[in-house]
Amino acid sequence: MKKLALAAALLAFVSPAEARTILFIGNSFTYGANSAVHYYKADTVTDLNGPAANGKTVGGVPAIFKAFTKEAGLDYTVSLETVGGKGLDYHVAEKRAVIDKPWDEVVMHGYSTMDQAHPGDPALLIASTKQIADLLRARNPNVKLHLLATWSRADQVYPANAPAVWKGKPVQQMGRDLMAGNLAAAQGANIADVIPLGLAWNRAIDTGVAGADPYAGVPAGKINLWTWDSYHASAYYLEALMDFGRVTGRDPQSLGDAETVADDLGFSRPQTHALQQIAHDELAAQGR
């Protein structure tokens, strides 16, 4: 009885488990350019770059992730460090002082073509992923790293001035190439997880949930995954679903009809179900 009383007394003084810290490193594909996601619930996350010239801080995909985790009863302290048009090489060189902290988890991605000067070439992504992984592990050897493979850009496929590497090919090919490049980068940096967002994007097209060519017009009833520039996303919701599934280990479908972010972003109930299904199916296809 004395042992039980002592154990109870000790438990009374144990503080609640601290929230897991997570950092998102990226560019406009993380902060949600050209969409309502850009400043979405910015007060729920920490923008490590501070207020922009307009006085606002970024919410972006990290804020959607935070909302999902709260709805799921999970506790994450979410921070982000984003700069438009930059890859991981920039963050290592220019944002080291901001990101060099002992994070529990980090989700990060490079430039949308892997190398802005040499589209399709993974060499820079491979090198910079290793550099940033080494930096983060020096602070916390147990940090869990997630490399995000982003989506196919329609503006790199359909226009007459598109780069030769993807011009005229099926739009899904860019997503497959980005996944391959990120897998090579992950292997070189000993990162166990690549979040297959680009493949989920392809799955949405292949299953008829989304249209393949915004320049030709997206058929009624299908989602245009791209925003007006056929470059950035209209469906950052799908990105957040994939992050949620991979980081937490929870099925994105578990968010269900009670999920509120989709309403905030203007997705219909059928569209919400379809995007949750796409995220579920792609994670399942990857063995998660």
What pLDDT is attached to residue 263? 93
> What is the pLDDT averaged over residues 131-153?
98
> What are the φ/ψ torsions at residue 172 (nearest 5 degrees)?
-70, -20
Backbone angles phi, psi at 287, to 5 degrees: 85, 20
The pLDDT score that the predictor gives to residue 19 is 80
What pLDDT is stored for residue 12 in this prediction? 37
**DSSP annotation of 147:** E
Task: Answer whether residue 158 shows pLDDT above 90.
Answer: yes
Percent residues over pLDDT 90 in the chain: 91
DSSP string, 214-246: TTT-PPTTSB--B-TTSSSBS-HHHHHHHHHHH
* d(C-alpha 247, C-alpha 193), whole Å: 9
Q: Mean pLDDT in the chain?
A: 93
pTM across the whole model: 0.92
> CA 129: distance to chain centroid?
16
Least-confidence region, from 12-21, 81-90, 159-168, 275-284: 12-21
pLDDT classification of 287: cutoffs 50, 70, 90: confident
Residue 162, burial from CB neighbour count under 10 angstroms (0-12, 13-18, 19+): middle
- Per-residue pLDDT, 18: 64
**Using one digit for the tens of pLDDT, what is the confidence trace for 235-258?**
999 999 999 999 999 999 999 988
Whether 8 shows a pLDDT value over 80: the answer reads no
Residue 237 has φ and ψ, to the nearest 5°, of -55, -40
- Mean pLDDT on 107-126: 98
Q: Give per-residue pLDDT as tens, 202-227.
A: 999 999 999 999 999 999 999 999 99
Residue from 133, 46, 124 nearest 81 by CA: 46
Average pLDDT over residues 173-187: 98
280: tokens are: 């579920």
| pLDDT over 80 at 7, yes or no | no
Contact yes or no for 264/271 (Cβ under 8 A): no
pLDDT at 189 over 90: yes
Q: Which CATH superfamily is domain 20-285 in?
A: SGNH hydrolase (3.40.50.1110)
pLDDT given at position 258: 80
CA distances to 30, 98, 224, 277 from 23, in Å: 11, 11, 29, 26
Kindly give the residue spans of alpha helices, DSSP state H, lying in the chain: 2-12, 28-31, 60-71, 88-94, 96-99, 123-139, 172-188, 197-206, 236-248, 261-265, 269-285
Interatomic CA distance for residues 5 and 8, integer angstroms: 5
Residue 162: predicted pLDDT: 93
Q: State yes or no: pLDDT of 83 exceeds 60.
A: yes
Judged against a pLDDT cut of 80, whether residue 122 lies above it is answered with: yes
Mean pLDDT for 122-129 is 98
Indicate whether 4 pLDDT > 90: no
User: What's residue 120's pLDDT?
Assistant: 97
Domain ranges of the chain: 20-285
For residue 1, pLDDT over 60 is answered with no
Between CA 175 and CA 212 the distance in angstroms is: 12
